[in-house]
Structures are given as structure tokens and as C-alpha cells.
Structure 1
Amino acid sequence: MRPRPVPTVPELAPYQDEPRQAPAGRAAKTGMLDLRFEDRGTRSVLSHVYREAPLLVQQALYWDEAVPGLPCVYIVSTSGCVLQGDRLHVDIEMGPGAMAHVTTQSATKVHAMDANFAAQLQTVSLAGNSYLELMPAMTIPHRRSRFYVRTDITIAPSATLLFSEIVMPGRKHHGGEMFEYDLYSATVTAARPGGGALFTEKLLVEPPRRSVRSTGVMRGFDVLANVVLLTPRKHWESVLDRIASGRSGRSVVAGASRLPHDAGLVYKVLGPESAPVRAHVRDFWSVVRDVVLGKPVPPMPLWG
């Protein structure tokens, strides 16, 4: 596994200066994580791990009683946060028929920056009949932070990927720090193994340049969830039939849309706090599990 260059995108042009501390992308600033899951009959296993600090994975856990053969893996940051100049690389490969649930040990906290930016580049590859839940905890961009995320997906037509992102406005309850970061840029691309492109979606938020509170953006909402479901048509049509869209109560708005090329669905949620947004994502996850696997999601932990 080798580090990949960050794509040249216009929004990163103002942030090319080097930190006064360790230069961008040097030792301890380039985290790498390479995971491969394989089907071993009675259960799937984490068959390969390569890691370089500050990214870490220890071992797969089998705590999901409804799907006892499902390995659950936590991505850990040994630095505890994302810092200026960090270049993080995550590669996940699902072998034929393999299953996995991958998440993070806590929220991704992107600290304040006075130079450069931080980037996380992810590649996800799913072979035939594989199933992956890639559901990290929320991202919290602190004041003056710049974070670029790109996720490139290659997925077989018979495979299923549930990928979620939850983005906070900042440290909302830390002096009312709301949308005071410099840049949050997130791109998701998907293609078939033969190279046929499915879709590209890009979220670009630059609060100092454009108001996040305008109509058609966040307006009065604070928290955004973006969930991508890539799965065969028979599955996503069933999920779409069971998902309610529109306003939920007085505080949350949610809706699902079809992705191009019959690839699946994108589901978006806006809310005032993380708890109701996470609850809607969990409801969507529950429907996906039931439709694709015929199994329930695990019970909500006491600390959830």
C-alpha cells in the first residue's frame, strides 16, 4: 500500500502552505489502513490488515447476535483527532460473499488549522454478493479547519454497500461554534468493476465564502447525514417503498432519491441535533438490513 496524492481541486488551492510543525504528509502525518475481508463459510474474517499510525485496527469482533458471522471492525486514531497536514488513506476490499461492519471508535474531530489542510482518501471495493456497512461516527470540523474527503467505490452488481456520513456544524455546545470552519469537501464516486461509472456526488461547504444558512442549503438546520445505498434494484426498490420522506415531527427533514444507472439510493437527513439525525439513519439502516439480510440491526447500546 502506498500513499496517494490528493487530487488537484480548486477549493484546496488557498491552503497549500506548509505547517510550521511537521510538513504535510510526512512521517506520523500519513496514516494508512488496508483491510481485506473474506468469506470462510460459517463466517467472514478480516484476512488482511496493514496499518500505519495514526490509523489503527486491532481485531474483528463478533458482537452482532443477529448476524453472528459478521465481523465488526473499529478504526482507531492514535492521535485522537485530525490535524493540519494529515494525509489519511483507507482501503477496504470485500472478497466474494464476504460481509463486514466497519465504523470508528468515536467522532472524527478535525482540529483548528493555521496552515495547509487535512485529507482522507478512501477506496472501497466489493466483489460479487459481498455486503459492507461502512458507518463511521460523526465528523466534527472545528473552527478554522479544512478537511477534504474522497471515497472511490468499485462495486459488483450483486453486492451491497451501506455508507453513511454525519457532519456536525462544529462544536455547537462549545461556545456556540457553528459553521466556523474554513472548508469541508466530500466527494463520493462509484463504478462497476469493468469501469462503468455509476455516479459522482460532491458536497462542498465553505462558510467564510458562502452562507450555509441560505435557503436550499442548511437554512435553520445544523446537522447533515448523507447515506448511500448501493445494492441490486430489487433491494433498493423495496427499501424505497418502506422509507418515509418529508418532515418528521417539527425538527427533522429526510428524503431518499434514486441514484443513476439503477445503482441504488441516496438518503439525506437534516436536523437540529445529532440524536434525531442518527435515529433516522438507524431507521434506514434497519430497513436495509431487513430487506437485504432478513436480519435486525443490533440493539441500541446503553451509551448510544
Structure 2
Amino acid sequence: MMSSDTARWARAEALGVSMPELAAYQDEPQQMRSGTAGKTGFLHLGFERRGCRTILANLQRRAPYMAQRALYFDQAMPDLAHVFLITTTGCLLQGDRLTLDIALGPRAQAHVTSQSATKVHSMDANYAVQVQTITLEDDAYLEFLPDPLIPHRHARFVSDTQITIAPSATLLCSEIVQSGRKHYRSSECFGATMISLATAAARPEGPRLFVEKLLIDPQRYVMRQTGVMGPFDVLGNVIVCTPKNHADRILERLTADVDLTTGVAFGACRLPHDAGLIYKILGCETAQVKAKVRELWGVVREEVVGARLSPPFLWR
């Protein structure tokens, strides 16, 4: 019988083995094999509502993944629990297997982000995998807004996010993916070997709501063509799972535009089965995409919980 830690690592390992886009990269690194200590990080964050405040009631972790205690510094939502995801290695390397579980009980409210951008280093063997499970119970509210993903040249990375959300809950979940270290050298831009990002959502005891998969494979597909990335270098992908009445009000406040002069394009549409909204952003620079994500974040907060965003920190 597998231990809980082994079972969690096995989820990430099984995903990597099953992905057809990774079939050519099943070789093991010469340095440290996949599945060894230090390469199989696990983090479970369990939030519960206690009185008027949400607390981090359950924290389980295994290096290199970790988190510290919940913080309460948002003046607009002083009872909102803030948790920063931390990786002690500071990056993802070949053979890494990371598993993240976030669970919110009834009426719990939390904001989860990362310590900094996630850098996926260059690889000459194997790949890195991240498995994420997000569970929201009745009337829960989660802002999951990690910093950007920066794939280095020859990086191979797979992420799979499984969402289980009650009909009355709200999830704001964003991914920002850079084309690479474009200001380091030109060959880094879309120089990753393969980046695969999948997201699926379902009700606790109901049918699947939607599935989306983004596959970045520059060796097979031209990234600069129209309909893919064109002249843009940064992709923002934001999912808002929320009740239909909230989604209707949010969508009324959003606009869509393609502005090649400033180098930004954005727009929103509805998710299937009245699951909420999906918002896409393209930008030439990361700051532009972050700014549009923040605009949407502010709208979601106002329409769902009736609170405004506090001013951003100078370093964010």
C-alpha cells in the first residue's frame, strides 16, 4: 500500500507518462532521478471559516514545496487569508514532480499567490510536471493568482489543474505565460521545447463543466502566426468560475480590444454550462498583461464580495 506522499507523487508521475506530447522525453536525468527526495514536492492548503475569519486549518508540505502561515493585510478584506506558495529551489528542473492541493470549506475566503515568477530551467532529459487540485465548497471564494511562468530555452513542462467547485462558490484563477527570457537573448523567445497546460472543472456531484488545454510546441507549430501569438510575447489566461448572476454583471463591465499600437489584445466570453467566464489577454510585455488581470480582479471582487482592491504593493 502506497504512503500518502508516494500516492501524491504518483499522480504527477502518471500524468507525465500518459501525455503523448512527452513520449519522446521519458529518459531519466543523469544528475538526480525523478521521484527522489527534493524533486517530489507536495503542498496541501486547507482553509476553513472560523467566526468572521478564514484560517489555514490544514497545512501539509514536502520540500521543495512549502508555505508559511496565513497573513491578513488586505485593508479592503481584513478577514481574507493570504498564503504565498514557496519553492525552496526557486525554479523547476528536469525530473521535478510537484503537487498542489487547495481546499476551501463553506464560506471560506482566501487569496493564494506565489513568491515570484516560476522559472522552468533548460532541460536535456525528462521534463517537469505540476498537478493542481482546487476544491471549493458552498459560498467559498478563492483568488488564485500566481506570478508568471517563464520557460527557459529547451524547457519541457506539463501542468494539469482539476477544479471541483460548488454552484454558489467563486474561483478567480489566472495563468500568465511568458514566451521566455526575451530580454536575455533572442533565441530564448519561444525557445521552450514543449509547454502543456490543461484545466478542467466539474461540480462536486455533477457533470464536467469544461476542459481547456493549451499546448505550446514551437518545434512543430509557428508561434508567430495569426491566430496563435502573432506579434505578442505574453499570454494571460484567466478563468472565473462563479454563479451566473455574478458572471452576467462582470461581463457587462468588461471590454474587448486589439491594439497593435500599444501591443495588447484582450477579451472575454462565457464558459459552458453557465460555469462563468474566461478572459484572454495578449501583450508584448508582462506588465501589460498583469495590469489587465488586475482590472478583472477588481471587477470580480466588487461584483462577488462587494469589496475594492487595495492599492498594489510597490514591488508587485
Aligning the two structures, in what range does the TM-score lie when normalised by the shorter sequence? Answer: over 0.9
2:294 matched to 1:286? no
Which TM-score applies when normalising by structure 2? 0.95
Say which of 140, 157, 165 aligns to 2:167: 157
1:18 maps to a residue whose letter is E
2:229 matched to 1:218? yes
2:29 paired residue number: 19
Task: Give 1:27 deviation, angstroms.
Answer: 1.1
- Note if contact 1:32-1:51 (Cα within 8 Å) is conserved in structure 2: yes
2:59 matched to 1:49? yes
1:250 paired residue number: 262
Task: Give 1:25 deviation, angstroms.
Answer: 1.9
Say which of 128, 131, 139 aligns to 2:141: 131
- Note if contact 1:108-1:140 (Cα within 8 Å) is conserved in structure 2: yes
- Note if contact 1:6-1:119 (Cα within 8 Å) is conserved in structure 2: no
Instruction: Give 1:184-223 correspondences, 5 Å limit.
Output: 184-223=195-234
- Structure 1 runs not aligned, ≥5 long: none
Structure 1 residues 179-221: Cα deviation after superposition (integer angstroms, max 9, x where no partner): 0000110000000000411000000011111111111100110
1:114 paired residue number: 124
Task: Give 1:296 deviation, angstroms.
Answer: 0.9
Query: How far apart in 2 are the matches of 1:272 and 1:25?
Result: 37
Task: Give 1:89 deviation, angstroms.
Answer: 0.1
2:20 paired residue number: 10
Classify the secondary structure of the residue corresponding to 1:6.
helix
Say which of 31, 34, 54 aligns to 2:41: 31
Q: Percent identity between the aligned chains?
A: 53
Classify the secondary structure of the residue corresponding to 1:30.
coil
Query: How far apart in 2 are the matches of 1:297 and 1:142?
Result: 33
Query: How far apart in 1 are the matches of 2:300 and 2:14?
Result: 33
Say which of 73, 77, 85 aligns to 1:67: 77
Task: Give 1:300 deviation, angstroms.
Answer: 1.2
Structure 1 residues 221-264: Cα deviation after superposition (integer angstroms, max 9, x where no partner): 00000000000000011000000112256311000010000000
Determine which structure has the larger helix proportion and give its number: 2
1:81 maps to a residue whose letter is C
- Note if contact 1:6-1:121 (Cα within 8 Å) is conserved in structure 2: no
1:214 maps to a residue whose letter is Q
Moved more, 170-179 or 3-12: 3-12
Provide the alpha-carbon RMSD of the alignment: 0.9
Query: How far apart in 1 are the matches of 2:41 and 2:155?
Result: 19
Classify the secondary structure of the residue corresponding to 2:59.
strand
Query: How far apart in 2 are the matches of 1:121 and 1:250?
Result: 35
Query: How far apart in 2 are the matches of 1:85 and 1:241?
Result: 44
Which TM-score applies when normalising by structure 1? 0.98
Query: How far apart in 2 are the matches of 1:71 and 1:218?
Result: 36
Q: How many residue pairs end up in the alignment?
A: 304
Task: Give 1:298 deviation, angstroms.
Answer: 2.0
Query: How far apart in 1 are the matches of 2:197 and 2:177?
Result: 10
2:284 matched to 1:276? no
- Structure 2 runs not aligned, ≥5 long: none
Query: How far apart in 1 are the matches of 2:90 and 2:115?
Result: 10
1:234 paired residue number: 245
Query: How far apart in 1 are the matches of 2:76 and 2:159?
Result: 32
Query: How far apart in 2 are the matches of 1:170 and 1:36?
Result: 33
1:299 paired residue number: 311
Q: Following TM superposition, where does structure 1 have runs of at least 4 consecutive aligned residues deviating by more than 6 angstroms?
A: none
